[in-house]
Amino acid sequence: MPFGAIQTIVILLASFLMQKAKLKSVILAAFMVPVIVGLVLLYVLPRTAGNEGPLLVGYYLLAFLYGGNSRPPFFPMRV
């Protein structure tokens, strides 16, 4: 699955959850946990052929970073 598709799914999921639940900071914190796990995987694992799968998972977990930037607006936007 392409990285952009995962970003889109994460952004839509984060926006939906933040709109339904009124605990935006808890949801933002929950979406940052996979980012930290992905960064640790990319930092710790050696770049060998045997680690391609876990490194790819770590890379895809970085898509959750964009879930934190997708909060719904507090006020309606006016054109």
Cα distance from N-terminal residue to C-terminal residue, the chain = 36
**62 CB-near residues (< 8 Å, 6+ apart):** 35, 38, 39, 42
Q: Which of 40, 35, 18 is nearest to 27 (CA)?
A: 18
Please name the amino acid found at residue 29: A
pLDDT, tens only, 34-76: 999 999 999 999 999 999 999 999 999 988 887 766 555 555 5
C-beta separation of 68 from 18 below 8 A? no
pLDDT for position 6: 87
C-alpha–C-alpha distance, residues 43 and 15, integer Å: 29
